[in-house]
Structure 1
C-alpha cells in the first residue's frame, strides 16, 4: 500500500458485496478492488471480470495475499468472525458488515487480538453514523440545543424480506442499526433491554414474529423504544425522534419533490435500504479509506460491534423469558476509548 491507493479484497459478492465493489471502484478515489471471493465461484468470477480483479479460491487465501492491503467482509453472517480474526492476526485493515459475530466470545477474541496489535484495524458497517440526518442530530445533542436527552422514539419499517427470514433476524439484522445509532447519539451504554409482545400483522409473509417492540434503558436512565416491522410495511421508512428537556430532534426524510395536486400534498418514500442510505454508504467508505491512510479509523469499532452483539443476545433472551434482561459487558480496552 502506498500513500494514495489502497488495494482492497472483497469477501462476499452478494447484493451488498456488489454494491460495495461498485462504490470502492467508482466513488472512493483512494481504493481499488483487486481481489474478490464468494462461495459461489461463478458469482465471484463475474465480479472479478467486470472490475478487473482476481477471483480467489477462498477468503483465507484472499486475506493472506500480499497484493491485498485491506479487506471488506460482507459474506454470510456466520462467516464474519473467522475472516475478521484472520485479518486481525495478520495486522490487516478490515471492514466488516453487521453483525460482527454470532457470539460475544468471538467479539472478545477480536478485541484481544486488536489490542495486542496496538491500534484499531477494524471498522464496523454501521453506515447510519455517516447519514447527514443522524450527523446533524448528533451535533445538535452535543451542542445542547434541546437540553439533556431524555428518550428516543424509533421505527424501522420494511416492505418485505428474503426467503428464510427468522424472528431473531429482526434484532440481529434489522434493529441492530437502531441498537448502534442510539448508543452513538446518546454516547451511553445500555443497562437493560426488553422485547414486548404486540399484536401481530396479517401482512407478514412468513411465520416469524412481526412486528416487535424493543425497549432499552441506558446507564444514565434514558429510555429508547424501537418499533420493528420486518414485512408488510407501507414503505422502507426509518423514523427517529430524540426528546430532550428543551425540545425534540426529528430525523428528516430523504430529499424528495413535494407534489401539490387535487387538493393534496404528497411526496414519495423509498422501498429499499440501498437507495435510502446510498449517500451514507459512500461517505462511510470514503472515511474508511482516509482512516486507513492516516492509520486512524473513525467509524464504528470492534467495541461497537461487540456492544451490539451483547445487546442483541439480551434482547433475544428477553423475548424468550418475557422479562427485562441486563446488558453485561467486559471492561473496555484502552484503544477503544
Structure 2
C-alpha cells in the first residue's frame, strides 16, 4: 500500500518534508498540496504530478488523500486538524498542535468523539537516538531517580520577525516536550528568567531567556534559550540522577586533530541536527497509517506542551513570577 499524503503548507518546513517523503522514505507519496498562496502550492505540487489547492479544507475533502500533513503556522492549525479528524484521516501536525490550550482541548474533544486516535504532533526529538539512550539510562533504574534536567537550545541567529514570545512557544516548546518524554511526568510550574541580553539580538528581543520548571515529583528543569549565539545550532541536555548523570552534546561528527587543534563540524539548523529523527518520525507515521494505527506523540502531548508554554508566557509578561500550569486531568482516552 502507498499512503497518499496531502500537505497543507508549502513553506520551508513543508518542502523539506516533501523532499524526505519523495526521496528518502518509502510507502508514502505526496498527492496534493494546499497553501493560501495557490501559486506556492502549485510550485510544490506540479513537479510531483500532485493536485494543488488554495485551502486546507479542499485538500482534506479530496477522496484521493489518505492522510494529512500540516506544516502551516501554529495559530491556524486547529481548524484543519479538526477537519481531518472529522474526515477520519490520520494527521501529522507540526508543533505546536495549537497556540492555546482551549484549541488543543477542542482537538482532543473532536478526536474522542471520533473514537480513534488520529493526531500525531511533530515532536521529532522523541525519535532522536541520543534522547532515547538518555531515557533508557533513567528507566533502567541503575542510577536511581531523576533530580535535575539541564537543557540548552542555541541558534546561530533568528529572523527579524521572530519575537521574544517565540522563544517560548516556538523554541523552548521542544525542551518542554522532550522533558516530559524523558521524565515520564507532567510539568506543574514555570518561571522565566531574563539574564543580561546579548548585543547580537534585534532591539525588540529579550535574548537569552532561561525557563525554569518543576515536575510533579519535584524534578527541576532549566532550559537556556539563546537564539543569537552566532557559532551554530547547539542542542545539549544533561539528566542528573541520584547515582550519576547522562548527557547529550550537540550532534556528534567526526573529530579532527592536527597541528591547528581539535575540532568537529557544528550544525547550523534543526534540519541537519535532527535529520535522522525527522526521517524516523515520518517513516514510523507512514507505516502506522498503512496498518490503520496511531504512532508518535498524541494530541494530549500537544495540549500538555501548550499549557506549559502558556504558563511560561504569563511568567515572562509578569516579571518572571512562578506560574502554576493550568492543566485538565488526562482523559482515559489518552492513557
If the length of structure 1 is used for normalisation, what is the TM-score?
0.96
Partner of 1:317: 314
Counterparts of 2:216 and 2:267 in 1: how far apart (Å)? 35
C-alpha contact 1:133 1:252 (8 A) present in aligned 2: no
Counterparts of 2:293 and 2:245 in 1: how far apart (Å)? 33
Partner of 1:259: 256
Counterparts of 2:146 and 2:313 in 1: how far apart (Å)? 27
Instruction: Identify the match of residue 38 of structure 1 among 32, 35, 51.
Output: 35
Structure 1 residue 283 displacement after superposition: 0.2
Partner of 1:335: 333
Residues 186-205 of structure 1 aligned to structure 2 (within 5 Å): 186-205=183-202
Counterparts of 2:9 and 2:193 in 1: how far apart (Å)? 35
Structure 1 residue 290 displacement after superposition: 1.8
Gaps of 5+ in 2: none
Whether 2:149 is the aligned partner of 1:140: answer: no
Structure 1 residue 206 displacement after superposition: 4.2
SS of structure 2 residue aligned to 1:265? strand
Q: For 1:286-307, what per-residue CA distance to the aligned partner results, in whole angstroms no more than 9, with x for missing partners?
A: 1111222223323111001001
Counterparts of 1:75 and 1:98 in 2: how far apart (Å)? 10
Q: CA RMSD in A?
A: 1.2
Whether 2:159 is the aligned partner of 1:162: answer: yes
Residues 1-337 of structure 1 aligned to structure 2 (within 5 Å): 4-262=1-259, 264-321=261-318, 322-337=320-335
C-alpha contact 2:41 2:54 (8 A) present in aligned 1: no
C-alpha contact 2:235 2:249 (8 A) present in aligned 1: no
C-alpha contact 2:156 2:229 (8 A) present in aligned 1: yes
Gaps of 5+ in 1: none
Structure 1 residue 116 displacement after superposition: 1.4
Structure 1 residue 249 displacement after superposition: 0.5
If the length of structure 2 is used for normalisation, what is the TM-score?
0.97
